[in-house]
Amino acid sequence: MISAAPIGLQTLQGRRVILERSAPKHAPFLQQCYQNDEFMDLYRLAQDRRQTEEQIKERLAKEQNLLPQQLKRVEWVIHRREKEPIGLAALVDYQHAHRRAEFLFGIVNPEYRATGISLEASLLILDFAFNQVQLHKLVAYIYGYNHYAQENVIRFGFTQEGRLREHVYFPKQGFLDLYLNALIESDFRANRRLSRFSKRLLGWDMTSKPAHPQRLPKERLAEAKQAFEKMALDGLPGMRN
Query: What whole-number percentage of the chain has pLDDT above 90?
Result: 73
12-211 placed in CATH 3.40.50.1820 = no
pTM tops 0.85: no
Letter string b/e over residues 21-39, b meaning 16 or more CB atoms within 10 A of that residue's CB: bbeeebbebbbebbeeeeb
Q: At residue 215, what is the residue type?
A: R
Identify the bridge partners of residue 180 per DSSP, sorted by sequence position. 141, 162
Q: Are strands 12-13 and 17-21 parallel, antiparallel or unpaired?
A: antiparallel
Cβ-based neighbours of 167, under 8 Å, separated by 6 or more: 175, 176, 177, 178
The tens digit of pLDDT for each residue in 132-179 reads 999 999 999 999 999 999 999 999 999 999 999 999 999 888 999 999
For the chain, which residues make up each domain, given as ranges? Answer: 12-211
The tens digit of pLDDT for each residue in 186-199 reads 999 999 999 999 99
Q: Is 160 left (phi over 0), alpha (psi -120 to 50) or beta?
A: beta
The tens digit of pLDDT for each residue in 56-82 reads 999 999 999 898 889 999 999 999 987
Please report which residue ranges of the chain form alpha helices under DSSP H: 27-34, 37-43, 53-63, 68-71, 116-127, 147-155, 185-189, 192-201, 218-234
Distance set, CA 156 to CA 13, 140, 168, 219 (Å): 20, 11, 25, 46
Closest alpha carbon to 196 in 206, 186, 187: 206
Average pLDDT over residues 8-32: 94
